[in-house]
Amino acid sequence: MSNTEDTVSSNISEEDGKIDFNDRSETYYRLNRLNANLMERNYSLMMEKAELEKKYRELSGTLNEMKKKNSKLISELKHFRTPPHVVGEVIETLDGDRVIVKNGIGHYYVVKNLKDEQNLDDCELTVGKRVMMDYKNLNIVGVLPPSRDPIVSCAQVIERPVATYRDIGGLEEQIEEIRETVELPLTNPELYENVGIDPPKGILLVGPPGNGKTLLARAVANKTHAVFIQLVGAELVQKFIGEGGRLVRELFQLAREKAPCLVFIDEIDAIGARRLGMDTSGDREVQRTLMQLLAEMDGFKPLDDVSIIAATNRPDILDKALLRPGRFDRIIEIPPPSTQGVRQIFDIHTRKMRLDWRIRKNLDEIAKMCEGFSGAEIKNTCTEAGMFTVRAGGKKVTMAHFIQAVKKVQKKRDGEDRKVLDSEKSKIYL
């Protein structure tokens, strides 16, 4: 018997009994049976191994997520335990790495500038810079951007206005003037350089309300592709002393940073009223704001690539210093629309309306009925005509709807005129 048969016979369990080595077929059968059991056992172990490897991968992924979460929580905890920094202002730079700073309550300190540790340049620490100081030892650890009031920050219009010159009717001469004084200096400044003159700094739009002053400024902003900053004059009137002047200063600082820029101040009569002798404390604060505006428009700092447009419906109360050349170089009057202008405005506002075919032929008659209306009242007339159509359940605006709308707007105008007349009479009797 060979050595292989001896080895195989020794691996057979005792329960199989004694093997007749002469019967080779019995031995072969038992070996095949043993091999099948081993293969089945091996397969079950391989499946168990695959299951364990799958669980291992899942647990490894969970462990990595828990590590990231733990690291984030440790970072947040460290951030919460970090003491706050103190905001200060550089007053003077001394020799070496020392500077004099002032904190928010007015105390002065000589502190150390950690520019080597924080990678700060010497040119960054100039007088007037806002800095971030350590809470314990007041060492400078960073430079902050300049402070800016939220009113000024929100004044910048991110989206360009959608109004264009095609949306303005009856103001051809005014559009030409504002293009020469605002649009061309921002789009083609070489035209003025070739002639050897400086373009106008400011434009004042005057006229009754509702005739397109603000719409004209929006159209210019759309055409120039410059940064558009819009502010209402009443927003510059503040309660505390010096706050209004600070807003004006920050407004023009933002305009210089965003140049080329277009600044539009609506209702400028809120801060530009004529200065009188008998004033209250509130009037004096408005006058301080006006003086800061005058200094910014015609002061030491040039307004390169910055154009100013202001609008008012009370030019009679504006201060003379605001109207002199060098500040508002050109005053453009926006009058009520003429008969031709009324027709053009009707064409603009009825451009997208579904009108009866008879109205297109009778728009001249409707324009004559609306003679004396402002641009806003003409738009209101078109809107009211559409509302009457909706009320009647129609799909097209008819002549009758326009006549009803004109009567309604005219009735409102007569009521306002009567109120003004009654108020004037009451003043006379008083």
Where does the pLDDT of residue 205 fall: very low under 50, low under 70, confident under 90, or very high at 90 and above? Answer: very high
The tens digit of pLDDT for each residue in 371-381 reads 888 888 889 99
**Is-contact 248 292, C-beta < 8 A?**
yes
φ, ψ for residue 300, nearest 5 deg: -75, -35
User: What are the structural domain ranges in the chain?
Assistant: 86-144, 152-333, 339-429
Q: Name the residue with tokens 């008659």.
A: 365
More confident position, 421 or 394: 394
Neighbouring-strand partners of residue 309: 203, 264
The pLDDT tens digits of the residues spanning 4-26 come to 444 444 444 444 444 454 567 77
Question: What is the structure's pLDDT at 206?
Answer: 92
Q: What is the CATH number of domain 152-333?
A: 3.40.50.300
The 3-state secondary structure of the chain reads CCHHHHHHHHHCCHHHCCCCCCCHHHHHHHHHHHHHHHHHHHHHHHHHHHHHHHHHHHHHHHHHHHHHHHHHHHHHHHHHHCCCCEEEEEEEECCCCEEEEEECCCCEEEEEECHHHHCCCHHHCCCCCEEEECCCCCCEEEEECCCCCHHHHCCEECCCCCCCHHHCCCCHHHHHHHHHHHHHHHHCCHHHHHHCCCCCCEEEEECCCCCCHHHHHHHHHHHHCCEEEEEEHHHHCCCCCCHHHHHHHHHHHHHHHCCCEEEEEECHHHCCECCCCCCCHHHHHHHHHHHHHHHHHCCCCCCCCEEEEEEECCHHHECHHHHCCCCCCEEEECCCCCHHHHHHHHHHHCCCCCECHHHHHCHHHHHHHCCCCCHHHHHHHHHHHHHHHHHHCCCCECHHHHHHHHHHHHHHHHHHHHHHHHHHHHHHHC
Tens of pLDDT along 322-369?
A: 888 878 888 899 988 888 888 888 888 888 888 888 777 777 888 888
425 pLDDT exceeds 50?
A: no
Q: What percent of the chain shows pLDDT beyond 90?
A: 7
Q: Give the best-scoring range by mean pLDDT among 79-83, 91-95, 333-337.
A: 333-337
Give the per-residue pLDDT at 251.
Answer: 85
For all residues of the chain together, what is the average pLDDT?
79
CATH code of domain 86-144: 2.40.50.140
Mind listing the pLDDT tens digit for each residue in 390-412?
Answer: 998 888 888 888 888 988 988 88
Q: What tokens were used for 348?
A: 């603009």
Of the candidates 103, 279, 180, 363, which has an alpha carbon nearest to the alpha carbon of residue 288? 279
CATH T-level assignment (fold) for domain 339-429: Helicase, Ruva Protein; domain 3 (1.10.8)
Beta bridge pairs of residue 308:
202, 263
Q: Which amino acid is at 72?
A: K
